[in-house]
Amino acid sequence: MSHETDTDDLAANTAAGTGTGSAEANRAGLGTGSGRSWRFETARQGLSWETHYKPVLKYVALAILMIWMLFPVYYAFVNSLKTPEMIFTTSLGIPFLTFDPVAFSGRNAWRTMWSAFPFGRYLLATFVVSVGTAGLATVCAVFAAYSFARLEFPLKNSLFVLAVAGFAFPIVLLAIPIFVLLQRIGLLNTYMGMILAFTAFTLPYNIWLLRGFFEDLPENLEESARVDGCTQIGAFFRVILPLSRPAIVSVFIFAFLLAWHNYLMAFIMGSDALHTTLPVALLELRGTFFVRNFHYIMAGTFLTMAIPIVMYMYLQKYLVEGLGSSAGVKG
């Protein structure tokens, strides 16, 4: 008996101790009459949400979100395995994976797409440009970000603002002047021109992300490395860089994906067959015999989507850390 009153008092104290919230709860409980029953009442309500609705609703919500998110990917994949005739008889447009021998024979898009269209070359061009961009952007951004985070030089703040502002500037506004410039100096239709341009577009964001990361590292890391006899550059390479691996990996992926995703500049700068990237090729395919090439378009679309999605899945943790810490979560 005495034990019971003890716990009741404790609960009442906790409730009273939290200020306005408990006042509201008290008001809500007034209708039930006594001070004892409002606590009972709210506890029961809380339980019904926590034990009855929430566990079900969260799975329903997850299922809806996942179906919505993954359906287009599934759609592209399953349709890529069918022949155009099969696609044109889908009911309601929801494709199902059928193990039709025709689809898995020589008419399967995944077998013939490489010879019907130069998909191999598209893939290669996209990889060359993306890897080149990612490499160059990561190296440039690491040095620039370290410089902004730890070194002193004149006009530092203004330069930083300028570098970050470049990121927000829409690429389409730069497309025309860059096109004219690259044409004049003969970098049009070269991997070098594409890599340089993509690197410039992705750099501001990468610098911003890495600078934030470097600034969060404690300064005495380098101090102690230098007490142990490292030079400043040595401390940078031996202490800072290994610690920044998640940030550097996410910067690398971002730059890779920017190049992989980009249509506009790739379309403008790589218009010949050798430098056509996958997004550019896809939209060109769409224009030519859309109906007859339906399964090729679906296969190409799935290929273009699947590679970055796999990369994202694999490096999800790094990316979430990187994105989350950069985009205003700190501020």
Nearer to another protein, 99 or 153 (CB): 153
Which of the residues 290 through 309 are near another protein (CB under 8 A)?
294, 297-298, 301, 304-305, 308-309
Q: Tell which one of 81, 113, 129, 163 touches another protein (CB under 8 A).
A: 163
Taking CB under 8 A as the criterion, the residue among 113, 133, 279, 299 binding another protein is 279
Span from 68-76, 97-105, 108-116, 241-249 in contact with another protein (CB under 8 A) = 68-76
Residue 327 is which amino acid?
A: A
In this structure, are residues 232 and 221 in contact, taking their beta carbons and an 8 Å threshold? no
Which residues in 167-186 contact another protein (CB under 8 A)? 168-181, 183
Q: Closest Cα partner for 263 from 171, 139, 188? A: 171
Residues between 126 and 155 with contacts to another protein, criterion CB under 8 A: 139-141, 143-144, 146-148, 150-154
Smallest distance from another protein to CB 51, Å: 12
Q: Is 159 in the site for another protein (CB under 8 A)?
A: yes
The CA R_g of the chain, rounded to the nearest whole Å, is 29
Give the Cα-Cα-Cα angle 247, 260, 328 (nearest 5 degrees).
40
Report the amino acid identity of residue 140. C
| Nearest one of 150, 156, 129 to 260, comparing CA atoms | 129
Residue 254, CB half-sphere, CA atoms under 13 Å: how many? 28
Q: Could you tell me the smallest distance in angstroms from the CB atom of residue 101 to another protein? A: 21
Draw the binding track, 91-130, toward another protein (x: CB under 8 A; -: no contact).
xxxxx-----------------------------------
| x/- letters, 233..262, toward another protein (CB under 8 A) | x-----------------------x--xx-
d(CA 196, CA 198): 6
For the segment 200-219, give every residue that binds another protein (CB under 8 A). Answer: 200-201, 203-204, 207, 219
Please give the Cα distance from 254 to 45 (Å, whole number). 46
Query: C-beta of 146: minimal distance to another protein in Å?
Result: 6
**Residue among 293, 79, 113, 325 at smallest CA distance from 212:** 325
First to last CA, the chain: 52
232 makes contact with another protein (CB under 8 A): yes
